[in-house]
Amino acid sequence: MDATGVPVTHFDVVVIGSGIVGLGHALAASDRGLSVVVVDRAAAIGGASVRNFGHLCFTPQSGPAREFALRSRPLWLRLQVDAGVWLRESGTVVLARHDDELAVLQELAAQRGAESVFGIGEPDVVLLDATEVSERLPLAEGTALGGAYLPWDLQVNPRQAGAGLAAYLAGQGVEFRYRTAVTAVRTGRVATTRGSIDAGTVIVAVNHDIDQLYPEIAERDGIVRCGLDMLRVDAGLRTPLPAPILTGWSLLRYGAFSSLPAAVTLGERLRREYPLLAELDLNQMYTQLPDGSLIVGDTHYRGASVSPFQNENAFEQLLQLTGELFGVPRPRVLERWQGVYASGRADFLIDQPEPGVYLVAATTGIGMTTGLGLAEHVVSCVYDSRSLTLKGTV
């Protein structure tokens, strides 16, 4: 009991937050034989980790994100077997409809060369001509100028992956305390609405809600909330999608593409020709769920808070683009939703505000892709006698 008579329990690791980044830390700690409890104020996983495409876009990452993506991939493949996570080794098809989009893909293929970063002996960017793209995708006639295939990307079902991982961890002895709010974090102790927890290490993985526990760090690093509009539709495609699809708009979003000189020209052209879509901060991309429906998205808007009121124009634009791309009538909307994730000036937050307490977040919406590898990095640094090589936003 503490001084107020509230019961106190002890764990080697307390993870605050049950999204993919938090669960990744629980996995890495559990793998090392540590006792772990996951605390979350929600009743179930319902944040950014379920409101996404389920696209594990390893190849389009750069810098630290690429390192974490490389560490994430084998962990996801392991979870397919150990945890029964639905997963497709699908790769990604990137569609180029304009010369400047094709130029970006050609630059990346030349930069990456023939050596596979995954060590499998096959390049991770394979250029495709218009016929090859059209043979892979059920596009409207004349849509493709060319494209690329990224063979090492994976796809999961975002509505099943987190829950599957949590169930697996529970079976490994990880304790979960849902509907439990954290009120204070200190070295060695976490205070919650259901009692205090003594801890050897505390991992704070609460995504955009970092400003609720550490507002000064959120302000210091410019971390705000990013809202986005997404749809699940029945598009009536003539054949299933063999892989997630990225488009020219996607080439402005992921570091491996956006850092290339050709991306500057592409961005200037898209913003000039499609100012309304640019204003929506569009990422036009698609994944197909096991039931055949398409996840369509997405738009982006940022602030310290995100309005719950979504602009119908965003959905209209997404539906129109989808119909044009696949040459189908207006897709039938099955669901609409608003995603929210942390957005900062860099890709990640890794910080240690006091001994034994670590703040960890993916701050560009790539938590599903990089979260497991990010967590493995942090836990390895803490418990495997390695230095924490990344501190602050990176």
CATH of the domain at 325: 3.30.9.10
Pair (235, 289) in one structural domain: yes
Is 282 within a domain? yes
Is 85 within a domain? no
Q: What is the mean pLDDT of residues 60-77?
A: 96
Taking the C-alpha atoms of residue 346 and residue 222, their distance in angstroms, rounded to an integer, is 9
pLDDT tens-place string over residues 295-304: 999 999 999 9
Is 2 within a domain? no
**Beta-bridge partners for 16:** 39, 204
Q: Which residues contact 330 (CB under 8 A, 6 or more apart)?
A: 319, 323
**What Cα–Cα distance (Å) separates residue 130 from each residue in 15, 49, 99?**
48, 34, 12
Q: Give CA angle at 37 (171, 54), nearest 5°.
A: 65
Taking the C-alpha atoms of residue 289 and residue 167, their distance in angstroms, rounded to an integer, is 21
Pair (238, 332) in one structural domain: yes
pLDDT tens-place string over residues 263-294: 999 999 999 999 999 999 999 999 999 999 99
Per the structure, the complete domain to which residue 356 belongs is given by 8-51+159-222+345-393
State residue 24's pLDDT score: 98
Q: What is the mean pLDDT of residues 156-173?
A: 96
State residue 112's pLDDT score: 86
Pair (279, 141) in one structural domain: yes
Pair (317, 170) in one structural domain: no
Is 238 within a domain? yes
Count how many domains the chain has. 2
Q: What pTM was estimated for this model as a whole? A: 0.93
Tell me the two tokens of residue 120. 């499998």
CATH of the domain at 215: 3.50.50.60
Q: Which residue has the higher pLDDT, 387 or 126?
A: 126
CA 367 to chain centre: 3
Domain-ending residue, one of 303, 324, 343: 343
Burial of 353 (0-12, 13-18, 19+ CB in 10 A): middle
Cα Dmax for the chain? 73
State residue 393's pLDDT score: 46
Pair (115, 148) in one structural domain: yes
State residue 248's pLDDT score: 97
Closest alpha carbon to 66 in 384, 373, 390: 373
The total of other beta-carbon atoms located within 10 Å of residue 119's CB is 8
Pair (354, 387) in one structural domain: yes
Taking the C-alpha atoms of residue 147 and residue 134, their distance in angstroms, rounded to an integer, is 10
Closest alpha carbon to 125 in 151, 145, 144, 95: 151
Contact call for residues 143 and 95 (beta carbons, < 8 A): yes
pLDDT tens-place string over residues 15-36: 999 999 999 999 999 999 999 9
Cis peptide preceding 12, ω within 30 of 0: no
Q: What is the mean pLDDT of residues 95-110?
A: 96
